[in-house]
Amino acid sequence: MKYTGSCHCGQIKFEAEGDIGTALSCNCSMCQRKGSLLWFVPRSALRLLTPEANLSTYLFNKHVIKHHFCAKCGIHPFGEGTAPNGDATAAINLRCIEGIDLEAIPVHHYDGRSV
């Protein structure tokens, strides 16, 4: 299935294709503050609909995950990194996807604070 999403102001818009089976809630210092519910897809399944120049990026800790956000409204729609198998991966904030029932998606809690 194809989903569309955006930041609050629309400066960042995207499409993502796949099946949302579960969401991940992480308690690391970054995710806990953002409150994101993450859906992981191959990076090739994410298509940016607005210019890449609209993305602001924050790197922290090991600098391996690009945490993208909108400099205008501050919303974090997705991040990019590498899966354990080496594949390029996108971590999409399900709270930025239009028309889905977040309450119906099972949430896996990940202890990122202890990693």
- Whether pTM > 0.85 for this model: the answer is yes
* pLDDT score of 62 more than 90: no
Q: Report, in this order, helix, strand and coil percent for the chain, each rounded to 5.
A: 20, 40, 40
Tens-place pLDDT, residues 24-48 = 999 988 888 999 999 999 999 999 9
Q: Can you say whether the dihedral through the CA atoms of 48, 28, 34, 24 is positive or negative?
A: positive
Residue 113 confidence (pLDDT): 86
Q: How far is CA 38 from the centre of its chain?
A: 5
CATH number for 2-114: choose from 3.30.559.10, 1.10.240.10, 2.170.150.70, 3.90.1570.10.
2.170.150.70
Q: What are the pLDDT digits (tens) for 65-101?
A: 899 999 999 999 999 999 989 999 999 999 999 999 9
